[in-house]
Amino acid sequence: MTNYKIQDIEKSFDGKIIENLGNNDYVIKINDAEHKLKIITMNSNGIEFILNQQYHKAKYLEQSTNEMNIVIDNVPIVINLHTHFDKIVYKNSGGGTAGGVQKSLKSQIPGKVVSISVEHGDNVKKGDVICTLESMKMQVAVKAHKDGVVRNIKAKETGTVAKGDVIADIE
């Protein structure tokens, strides 16, 4: 049994395949409800299926062991997966919402680095401007995602960053 959590939705769900009826027909169970599912096509990039007589198309984007990015019928959704065993390991390693904020500040957009407003060792508060990027003729401020001390500034003035690149660490 795997436990699923959809980002921005409070409820979590247990789900599994309970029966393979053959001919690509399955019965799956989500929490207490059983659903009929027929796979039309499937490969590692996506799936088309009929669930309770309704057609759906999903794409599987990035995925790690316990996070899936999918696009279901054009709606992007992030799903976190935990086998019950995972959950215990996760808790014991200090994960979860309490101390779980990442230290790396990443760029949400690609662009040219116009200026860097902080230096190594500066104390910053969440929301302080760390650097300014230029993309599509617009300047965009990258702000600190948490309080802390600036370490390892990776971005360089007049250089470029890609989406997801680390700008600096805030510890």
Binding site for other proteins (CB under 8 A): 2, 4, 6, 8-9, 13, 15-17, 20, 26, 28, 30, 35, 37, 39, 42-44, 47, 49, 51-52, 54, 56, 58-61, 63, 68, 70-75, 77, 79, 81, 108-111, 135-138, 140, 163
Nearer to other proteins (CB atom), residue 40 or residue 101 = 40
* Separation CA 13–CA 34 (nearest Å): 13
**Rounded CA separation 100/81 (Å):** 17
Q: In the complex, what is the shortest distance from the CB of residue 125 to other proteins, in angstroms, rounded to a whole number?
A: 19
Shortest distance (Å) from residue 60 CB to other proteins: 6
CB count in 10 Å sphere of residue 110: 14
Pick from 149, 62, 74: nearest CA to 105: 149
Q: Which C-beta is closer to other proteins: that of 59 or that of 120?
A: 59
Q: How far is the CB of 56 from other proteins (least distance, A)?
A: 4
DSSP 164: T
Report the alpha-carbon distance of residue 124 to residue 69 in Å, rounded.
32
